[in-house]
């Protein structure tokens, strides 16, 4: 019995690591820290290898101590690596070439060396699949103000974005070219939607024309045309979006064209396969039926439609798209859907769902046919 108090004391002294509750509660802090280092270009500064916090601060115009503390948190989250600083030589401490520091001794103590992990390297702006644009978009005021308005959304059912900005999301983008450009760039490279994975998973014919409706800047269409040299393509989206297309490639010369317009009104005719990537999840059911109805009016029976969107599990098991579904709730009137919900939308619009193809990315391919 004499050991019980000591055992209880040991229990009280044991470290308690954050629970899922704490991860959720501090989530906005992690997002803000991530945004700060990306805006200051820290990942790009580490492209050639690790640097001390002092070197990073001098090159980015930041202060050593706050930067070190921010990077320490991101190192704990697996995006950076932190190393002990090597001892400075007497010469380096008094080198005339060294910049004069206006930091206090307090701010310079405990300096560490930081490098990028494999995950953190995706934050660089100069790497294939860079996640810089998605980070800046998902941490933008468009998102955090919409998220802050969620309590009102639960009462009204209206997107928090409308309450925060006074206009619907896509109307706002139409009048905000900088934010619209950020949105388009982020959609081209956002995590979990690898165009290569999707193109490889989609059942494309050996020849014919692929019409990418609401195809953004054409990242997916470009991947499809590169992989399937017998196909030609049509990129269809808003004028400002298709103007920034990614299809200028010698290998694709003569195999594509871009058209602008409104998919609520009309879409290009004559395609053999139609793509809708990350379109239907932006809209409520009635608008989806309108989009699909316009598309059905443009195609012949038997034409294949490939809907690329997250497909939620019917049984409610864990899936990263549940978080994306909340983004839809915050920003627009859309939603992520189950296979059964896609089947119903398609049936109401003159299409028949054939099957669903999972991909290694967040999205699946809902394969349908015009009836």
User: Cα(339)–Cα(358) distance, rounded to whole angstroms?
Assistant: 11
- Judge whether 281 counts as a catalytic residue: yes
DSSP per residue over 172-184, as a string?
HHHT-HHHHHHHH
DSSP per residue over 303-341, as a string?
-EEEEEE-EE-TT----THHHHHHHHHHHSS---EEHHH
Question: Which residue of the set 102, 281, 319, 355 is catalytic?
Answer: 281
User: Cα(13)–Cα(7) distance, rounded to whole angstroms?
Assistant: 10
Q: Do 239 and 300 touch, CB atoms closer than 8 A?
A: no
> What are the backbone angles phi and psi of residue 48, rounded to the nearest 5°?
-95, 5
User: Cα(365)–Cα(310) distance, rounded to whole angstroms?
Assistant: 8
User: Cα(347)–Cα(350) distance, rounded to whole angstroms?
Assistant: 6
User: Cα(176)–Cα(119) distance, rounded to whole angstroms?
Assistant: 31
Active site residues: 281
């Amino acid at each position: 019995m004499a050991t019980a108090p000591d055992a209880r004391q040991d229990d009280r002294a044991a470290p308690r690591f954050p629970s899922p509750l704490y991860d959720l509660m501090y989530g906005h802090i992690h997002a803000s820290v991530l945004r700060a280092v990306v805006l200051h270009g820290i990942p790009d500064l580490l492209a050639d290898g690790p640097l001390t916090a002092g070197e990073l601060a001098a090159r980015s115009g930041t202060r050593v101590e706050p930067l070190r503390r921010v990077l320490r948190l991101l190192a704990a989250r697996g995006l950076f690596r932190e190393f002990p600083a090597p001892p400075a030589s007497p010469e380096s401490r008094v080198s005339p070439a060294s910049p004069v520091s206006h930091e206090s001794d307090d701010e310079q103590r405990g300096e560490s060396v930081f490098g990028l992990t494999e995950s953190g390297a995706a934050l660089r702006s100069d790497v294939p699949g860079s996640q810089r644009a998605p980070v800046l978009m998902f941490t933008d005021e468009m998102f955090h103000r919409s998220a802050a308005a969620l309590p009102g959304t639960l009462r009204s059912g209206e997107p928090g974005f409308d309450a925060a900005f006074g206009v619907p999301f896509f109307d706002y983008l139409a009048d905000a070219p900088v934010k619209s450009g950020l949105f388009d760039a982020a959609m081209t490279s956002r995590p979990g939607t690898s165009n290569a994975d999707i193109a490889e998973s989609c059942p494309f014919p050996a020849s014919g024309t692929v019409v990418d409706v609401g195809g953004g800047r054409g990242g997916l269409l470009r991947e499809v045309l590169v992989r399937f040299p017998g196909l030609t393509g049509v990129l269809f989206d808003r004028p400002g979006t298709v103007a920034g297309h990614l299809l200028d490639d010698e290998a694709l010369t003569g195999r594509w064209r871009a058209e602008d317009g409104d998919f609520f009104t009309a879409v290009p005719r004559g395609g053999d396969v139609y793509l809708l990537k990350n379109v239907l999840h932006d809209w409520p059911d009635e608008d989806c039926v309108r989009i699909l109805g316009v598309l059905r009016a443009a195609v012949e029976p038997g034409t294949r439609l490939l809907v690329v969107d997250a497909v939620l599990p019917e049984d409610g098991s864990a899936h990263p798209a549940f978080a994306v579904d909340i983004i839809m709730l915050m920003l627009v009137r859309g939603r992520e859907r189950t296979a059964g919900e896609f089947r119903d939308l398609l049936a109401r619009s003159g299409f028949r769902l054939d099957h669903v193809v999972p991909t290694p990315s967040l999205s699946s391919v809902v394969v349908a046919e015009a009836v």
